[in-house]
Amino acid sequence: MAAKSKRRTKRKTKGGFRFAWILSGMVLLAGLVGLFVLVGKFRSFPDKRMVASIDAMLIGANVDIDKAVEKTVDEHGVHHWKIRVANEQIHARLVRALEQWCTGQGGYLEKGKPQQIRGVTHHLVSLVFGANRMNLVFVIEAQAPQRKPTSPAPTKVPEPVAQAEQTSSPLEEPSPKVAIILDDIGHHPPSSLSPVLDLKFPITFAVLPFLAHSNQAATYLHQTHYQVMLHMPMEPDNFPKTNPGPGAIYAHLNRAEILEALAKALGDVPYVVGVNNHMGSKITANRTLMEIVLADLKRRDLFFIDSRTHTTTVAFETAQRLGVRSAERQVFLDSEESLEFTLGQMEEVKRRALQGESIIAIGHPYPSTLKALVQTMPALDREGIQFVFASELVSKTVANN
């Protein structure tokens, strides 16, 4: 009996050890999962929308984000930005804007005490969102002269509604209207658009998704009161020789995949009010595929502009049939990338507008195109041509279904 009792005790001891090992393994696994979640959480903070919003505020205050901002991440995953600004006034303005933005996003802003380091004032500001924080150190530059702006300060561009209300008399002839759309935005920082932004005319910018500066450009343009569209990549006839870029809609995709591609692109470019096609001759010629795209845009209350990249397009016709707010391009400004060509195309815009047509003209942010717009838009404005956002020139028919 004694031997049997001893064997039972031994079995119980082995069982206890086995249970302890299992329990330890479960605790270790839970810890690893928790660590994975925590690391993932830190990696997602700040997300690219947050970074783009802060970048846009800095650009709006004439801070050169390529030269005056140093971004680092410490061993705990906390982001630290060192930002050089010209004076205390710019620092104070940025802090007010950041505080308002932070509160609107569900976080709050903490201000540290100013410190003098080698005679230069440093201000610490922390953006706090739950357990996450991001530290911004503003360094007030010692030199007195103002740095030359790299991009225009935010200026209110008249909204189409406000423009419509400015007509002084119903007896007056309505001004001819022209909407300028610049495609392919997102390859470069928004400061590259300074020549046309300085004009202070309504210009619509069509932003490609998933590029280095897509989110930043869309955010900055929205905050400076310009109109933002999604320049949706679509398959061209000569694919794969010509690649429409990341996130494109292809003819072989099914309905769910098309809607997913559109949703992801819209998620990457904020503040979108409408969509036009980037390339896409194979898609815009296909009624079935365009019906899928356009029905979703209608559901989202977004307008569509047919870029007319090929004569076979049925996109505008299909949009009108479905009751989608829509329009189509009349003039291409820079199918040939040269100042002389674009100046000639702006003459065509002028001629047709003065004959009473409403014109949508599409170009790209080529240096020659920007220069041509700078040279011609003020003159056309003086001749009575009214520049408007693209949204003012869209229309819809009543859908039959």
The pTM assigned to this predicted structure is 0.67
- Report CA 310 to chain centroid distance, whole Å: 27
Query: What was the pLDDT predicted at 28?
Result: 58
User: 34-58, pLDDT tens digit by residue?
Assistant: 544 444 444 467 887 788 888 878 8
Crossing angle, helix 48-60 and helix 88-104, to 10 degrees? 150
| CA 138/CA 90 separation, integer angstroms | 10
Query: What was the pLDDT predicted at 35?
Result: 45
Confidence of residue 15 (pLDDT cuts 50, 70, 90): low
User: 188-244, pLDDT tens digit by residue?
Assistant: 999 999 999 999 999 999 999 999 999 999 999 999 999 999 999 999 999 999 999
User: 96-151, pLDDT tens digit by residue?
Assistant: 888 878 887 888 999 988 999 888 999 999 999 988 999 999 999 854 444 454 54
Contact of 274 with 229, CB cutoff 8 Å: yes
Say which CATH topology domain 48-140 has: Beta Polymerase; domain 2 (3.30.460)
Both tokens of 334, joined, read 């820079």
Contact of 295 with 288, CB cutoff 8 Å: no
| CA 320/CA 241 separation, integer angstroms | 32
| CA 360/CA 388 separation, integer angstroms | 10
User: 236-256, pLDDT tens digit by residue?
Assistant: 999 999 999 999 999 999 999
3-state secondary structure of 52: helix
**Residue 238 CB coordination number (10 Å):** 11
3-state helix vs strand vs coil in the chain, percent to 5: 45, 20, 35
- Could you give the residue range(s) of every CATH 3.20.20.370 domain in the chain? 160-164+171-393
User: 299-311, pLDDT tens digit by residue?
Assistant: 999 999 999 999 9
Q: Which of 155, 277, 163 is nearest to 221 (CA)?
A: 155
Half-sphere exposure of 197 (CA within 13 A, CB side): 26
- Could you give the residue range(s) of every CATH 3.30.460 domain in the chain? 48-140
The superfamily CATH assigns to domain 160-164+171-393 is Glycoside hydrolase/deacetylase (3.20.20.370)
- The answer on pLDDT for 359 being more than 50 is yes
| CA 335/CA 329 separation, integer angstroms | 13
Contact of 243 with 313, CB cutoff 8 Å: no
Query: What was the pLDDT predicted at 24?
Result: 61
Contact of 217 with 203, CB cutoff 8 Å: no
